[in-house]
Amino acid sequence: MRYSLPKTGLFLLVVFLLTSGSLAVAQMKPGQKAYMYLIYHKLNPGLTIQDALPVEREWRKINQAAVDEGKLIGWYMTVKQFTSNPNQTEYDYVTRIVSPEMAMKGASPEAMVRIYGDSVQAKMADLQKRDRMTAPVVKIEIWEITDGTFGPNFAPDNTQTMVVERIKRRTPGADYEGLVGQVKKLAEQRVAQNNLTGWDFSTLVVPNGSEKGYEFSIAQYVTSLGAIADPVLASSGKPIMAAPAYKQLRKQMDQTFDVVRQEVYRFMEYTSPKSN
């Protein structure tokens, strides 16, 4: 098992699990469900992301085996750049596992033997120890990825930045699907015009209580933060959407949703899609 959260009371049993991206929606089949585990890491005092990379690259190797076997959709390491979180040091990076089911499955015993030979148990124990000594897990969330749109050549290597908004409805229980559908249509146009490389919408599944503060997540994948500043390409002279219409859409979003937290991440490590 990789993850235990001392002092928080939160304990997740994951056999040989691994670490993880909503961007894997781009690799999903139409109508396929996907669940996303977000695993938040805090570096131990005096350590940097460079210290965490050897550990995460080893987890990537294990997760790649699970992706190759069709047990996972993808794994990603994303490093926090900016956050509106008042507790700026709550975590330093987030690994993401995207799975076709909530009960995730790791690499098979046969795959683990191919990676570690006859030293699987010893190597895994050592990896888990190095993991805890480098960047312990401080929080875990499980999300269902409910919608998304991506460019045909979407990949982390050409989408280095992800802007995430954790949101909640201002009126509990209020309808939101129609509005999100409008935002998706705009995102599709932005992708077509290379203003975005991808967009997705997710719903928090676990833990999901009123004290959590947010219930949904919207992620935009961009090559430049300029796409966030000019989402309808108004400065191009050929805007995707007329200014009054976009202003109205933004007003509806602001009336329906409260942005509880906004964060910007960059991609560091990731698995490749399962080869056909």
Give per-residue pLDDT as tens, 106-133. Answer: 999 999 999 999 999 999 999 999 999 9
Query: How far, in Å, CA of 149 to CA of 122, rounded?
Result: 42
Average pLDDT over residues 251-273: 96
What pLDDT was estimated at residue 209?
85
CA distance 228 to 31: 28
- Flag whether pLDDT at 10 surpasses 80: no
pLDDT category of residue 32 using cuts at 50, 70 and 90: low
pLDDT at 6: 36
What's the pTM?
0.86
Judged against a pLDDT cut of 70, whether residue 136 lies above it is answered with yes
- The rounded Cα 152 to chain-centroid distance in angstroms is 19
**Do 233 and 255 fall within a single domain?**
yes
pLDDT of residue 188: 97
CATH of the domain at 100: 3.30.70
Q: What pLDDT is stored for residue 24 in this prediction? A: 47
Q: What is the pLDDT of residue 12?
A: 31
Last residue of a domain, one of 113, 142, 171: 142
Token pair recorded at residue 122: 């010893």
Please give the C-alpha separations between residue 212 and each of 103, 191, 257, in angstroms, as whole numbers. Answer: 23, 31, 15
Q: How confident is the model at residue 31 (pLDDT cuts 50, 70, 90)?
A: low
| 270 closest CA partner among 188, 162, 139 | 162
More confident residue, 154 or 200: 200
Report angle CA 206, 211, 212 to the nearest 5 degrees: 40
How many angstroms from the chain centroid is the CA of residue 243?
31
Residue 220 and residue 197: Cα distance in Å, rounded?
8
Residues in contact with 100: Cβ distance below 8 Å, sequence separation at least 6, in sequence order: 32, 33, 34, 35, 72, 73
- Is residue 87, in this structure, part of any structural domain at all? yes
- What is the count of structural domains for the chain? 2
pLDDT at site 20: 35
What is the rounded radius of gyration, in angstroms, for the C-alpha atoms of the chain? 19
**At which of 92, 121, 142 does a domain end?**
142
Domain span holding position 176: 148-265
Cβ contact 205:179 at 8 Å: no
Q: Are residues 202 and 260 in the same domain?
A: yes
- Read off the tokens for 101: 């089911």
> Which CATH number is 215's domain given?
3.30.70.100
154 and 111 within one domain? no
Read off the pLDDT of residues 139-177 as tens digits, 9 standing for 90 and up. 999 999 999 999 887 878 777 899 999 999 999 999 999
Clarify whether residues 32 and 136 are in a common domain.
Answer: yes
